[in-house]
């Protein structure tokens, strides 16, 4: 009989299992999918961004104001420095990019995951795949498995069941029915937004505009904006997904390194017989996609074009569907949890990872948050188990 069951084999669940195993607790990880870490591996396809190397104050600010005590403690105890040390302890060298984002040198998630699973096996952590949690049967956990329905009554349970996006990778939010009023409604996070482009924009679908300034709801950032067939996406948009989701208008600064006066002076240069498009290309070094976006969203063009270039409004029709989002807001409310992430109404049951009601942008914050809360829940569960 196992003393602990961790439900979910993503970063949060595996970290919780590691802490339990290190404490000498016998632990089984139950994963609904045929293999572990599917969303983790998907994140690594474009380069596994494990954390962000920046001062703790700035790092914590990315998770929003009024940080719950448990989340603040988790991030304080296991922030960027600790994530880097953890990766290096698994034999993965890392490097820090120019924006502070930290990646394994190999960029991929698979070598790190393989090393991690090997270490977990050494700590006597058992992993069962195709075990889908189906709530409780009295005090027992109930699972649907290839061998039929089974029940288990461990001393402690860690729920690390993920959010409600990317259902094909296992995160569909179906677990929420088992916790009911303890769960805040889900909403998409780090997602694209719908824009009904005119046919004029079709040649620019998939083309990024690098390092633009973006503002929504009084929040400013700088990053990449990608024009897609369905609308707008990219790192800069993801940073503002919360205020935009809540209805704040979006404006884009196409030349964040230029002042209005510098733009005006450039535009006032004689253009002769050149078209406005060619003039913008020549004096502002605009790319074709920048020009297209300006013409699409700025018409009728004002006399003072510099003001428009510094604050181009982009109207959208709301976020893309939640299952397309990189992550989700909503989940288990922190008010339903103790400071070590145990459910207040169910002793011995802990929660961790993206299933908790926190939200952070991409850029290393998501994975760090999952690792940190998984660690906190695992430590708490181990203490509870060992008494």
CATH of 4-187+325-386, one of 3.60.150.10, 3.50.40.10, 3.50.50.60, 2.40.128.110: 3.50.50.60
For the chain, list residues with pLDDT below 50.
none
* Integer CA distances (angstroms), 323 to 23, 158, 245, 381, in order: 37, 24, 15, 31
**Beta carbons of 255 and 231 less than 8 angstroms apart:** no
Cα–Cα distance measured from residue 206 to residue 223, given in angstroms and rounded to the nearest whole number: 16
- Domain segments of the chain as ranges: 4-187+325-386, 193-314
- Provide the b/e sequence for 237-274 (b: ≥16 CB within 10 Å): bbbbbbbbbeeeebbbbbbeebeeeebeebbeeeeeee
For Cα atoms 259, 261, 266, give the angle at the middle one, nearest 5 degrees.
100
Q: What is the pTM of this model?
A: 0.92
pLDDT confidence of residue 1 = 66
- Provide the b/e sequence for 179-193 (b: ≥16 CB within 10 Å): beebbbebbbbbbbb
CA 325 to chain centre: 9
pLDDT confidence of residue 43 = 82
98-125 pLDDT tens trace: 889 999 999 999 999 999 999 999 988 9
pLDDT confidence of residue 124 = 86
pLDDT confidence of residue 46 = 78
Residue with the two structure tokens 């179906």: 174
Tokens of 284: 């502002």
Backbone angles phi and psi of 224, in degrees to 5: -95, 140
Backbone angles phi and psi of 41, in degrees to 5: -65, -40
Reduce the DSSP state of residue 344 to 3 states and report it.
coil
pLDDT confidence of residue 337 = 98
pLDDT confidence of residue 166 = 85
CA 299 to chain centre: 35
């Amino acid at each position: 009989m196992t003393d602990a069951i961790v439900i979910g084999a993503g970063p949060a669940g595996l970290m919780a299992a590691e802490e339990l195993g290190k404490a000498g607790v016998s632990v089984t990880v139950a994963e609904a999918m045929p293999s572990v870490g599917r969303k983790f591996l998907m994140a690594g396809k474009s380069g596994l961004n494990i954390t962000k190397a920046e001062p703790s104050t700035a790092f914590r600010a990315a998770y929003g104001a009024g940080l719950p005590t448990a989340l603040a403690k988790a991030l304080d105890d296991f922030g960027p420095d600790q994530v880097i040390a953890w990766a290096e302890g698994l034999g993965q060298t890392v490097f820090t990019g120019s924006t502070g984002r930290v990646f394994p040198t190999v960029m991929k998630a698979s070598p790190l995951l393989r090393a991690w699973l090997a270490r977990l096996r050494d700590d006597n952590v058992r992993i069962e795949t195709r075990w889908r949690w189906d709530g409780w049967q009295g005090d027992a956990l109930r699972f649907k498995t290839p061998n039929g329905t089974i029940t288990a009554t461990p001393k402690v349970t860690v729920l690390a069941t993920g959010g409600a996006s990317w259902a094909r990778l296992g995160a569909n939010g179906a677990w929420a029915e088992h916790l009911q009023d303890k769960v805040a409604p889900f909403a998409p996070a780090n997602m694209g937004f719908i824009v009904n482009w005119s046919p004029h924009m079709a040649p620019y679908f998939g083309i990024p505009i690098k390092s633009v300034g973006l503002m929504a709801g009084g929040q400013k950032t700088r990053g990449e904006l990608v024009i897609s067939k369905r609308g707008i996406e990219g790192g800069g948009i993801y940073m503002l997904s919360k205020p935009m989701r809540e209805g704040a208008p979006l404006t884009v600064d196409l030349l964040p390194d230029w002042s209005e006066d510098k733009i005006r002076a450039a535009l006032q240069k004689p253009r002769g017989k050149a078209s406005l498009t060619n003039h913008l290309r020549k004096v502002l070094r605009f790319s074709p996609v920048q020009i297209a976006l300006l013409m699409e969203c700025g018409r009728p063009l004002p006399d003072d074009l510099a003001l428009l270039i510094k604050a181009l409004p982009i109207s959208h029709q709301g976020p893309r569907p939640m299952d397309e989002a990189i992550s989700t807001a909503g989940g288990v409310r922190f008010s339903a949890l103790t400071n070590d992430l145990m459910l207040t109404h169910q002793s011995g049951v802990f929660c961790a990872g993206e299933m908790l009601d926190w939200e952070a942008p991409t850029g290393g914050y998501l994975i760090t948050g999952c690792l940190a809360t998984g660690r906190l829940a695992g430590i708490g569960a181990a203490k509870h188990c060992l008494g």
